[in-house]
């Protein structure tokens, strides 16, 4: 059991400074691994309608659509500043016909039940004070037999481990970027907490794994 207590960070990163700091960080390797793992979990027969929850500046949808031009991704976030930069990134990538950005609260999505073939999310759960609210919505809008692929930061066991992870993965970052990363790690869930959460929705606890020294990943199909 983790001994480091969860300390919440702001749910919405909605200043231009934070959005620029986030967008300028080098997420390329993490995003490539996320997409590799998603496409490995995805069946070739799966539909093309995807929801990306907490898209930030749309970096992951862009990578996805560059790999598979048939995908149609609805990417949501609650931060206007993130969406502003995301739209610029999509225009630069010339993917306006494939990716639609929408300002949506992930805890109260406007979409009907079973709207999407796959629902993905990278690093939104730790922003939510009560992650069950967001998780419930992601399950609700996923079609029957549809894939849920959710990844987020894993809360370290101690401050020493947290500081080591920050040094290892953000050693060359700006002080502001290091602080954002530190705050996010502190706000994250433990593996046990995530497993207890998915069990509430009928999923096996071991659909959640530790997928790196700083990430957990939930991969499952909705029954």
Domain spans, the chain: 16-221
pLDDT of 80-119, one tens digit each? Answer: 999 999 999 999 999 999 999 999 999 999 999 999 999 9
Which strand (E) or helix (H) includes residue 22? Answer: helix 16-24
pLDDT of 179-200, one tens digit each? Answer: 989 999 999 999 999 999 999 9
Q: How far apart are CA 103 and CA 14, in angstroms?
A: 12
16-221 — its CATH code? 3.40.50.150
Q: Are 156 and 2 in contact (CB under 8 A)?
A: yes
> What is the pTM assigned to this prediction?
0.93
Query: How confident is the model at residue 14, as a pLDDT?
Result: 66
Query: How confident is the model at residue 148, as a pLDDT?
Result: 98
Q: How far apart are CA 85 and CA 92, in angstroms?
A: 11
Among the listed residues 74, 64, 65, 82, the one whose alpha carbon sits nearest the alpha carbon of residue 25:
82
Query: How confident is the model at residue 1, as a pLDDT?
Result: 47
Q: Give whole-number Cα distances, 174 to 22, 148, 177, in Å.
A: 11, 33, 5
pLDDT of 16-35, one tens digit each? Answer: 777 777 767 777 899 999 99
For the segment 27-50, the average pLDDT, to the nearest whole number, is: 95
């Amino acid at each position: 059991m983790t001994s480091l207590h969860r300390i919440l960070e702001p749910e919405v990163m909605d200043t231009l400074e934070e959005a620029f700091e986030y967008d300028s960080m080098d997420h390329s390797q993490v995003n490539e691994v996320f997409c590799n793992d998603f496409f490995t979990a995805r069946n070739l027969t799966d539909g093309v309608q995807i929801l990306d929850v907490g898209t930030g500046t749309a970096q992951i949808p862009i990578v996805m659509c560059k790999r598979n031009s048939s995908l149609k991704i609805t990417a949501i976030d609650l931060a206007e500043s993130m969406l502003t930069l995301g739209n610029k990134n999509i225009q630069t990538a010339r993917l306006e016909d494939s990716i639609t950005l929408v300002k949506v609260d992930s805890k109260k999505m406007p979409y009907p039940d079973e709207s999407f073939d796959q629902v993905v999310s990278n690093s939104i759960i730790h922003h939510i004070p009560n992650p069950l609210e967001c998780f419930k919505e992601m399950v609700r809008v996923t079609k029957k037999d549809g894939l849920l692929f959710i990844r987020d930061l894993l809360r370290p066991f101690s401050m020493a481990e947290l500081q080591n992870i920050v040094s290892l993965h953000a050693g060359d970052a700006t002080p502001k970027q290091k602080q954002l990363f530190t705050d996010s790690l502190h706000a994250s869930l433990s593996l046990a907490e995530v497993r207890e959460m998915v069990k509430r929705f009928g999923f096996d606890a071991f659909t959640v794994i530790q997928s790196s020294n700083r990430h957990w990943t939930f991969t499952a199909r909705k029954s």
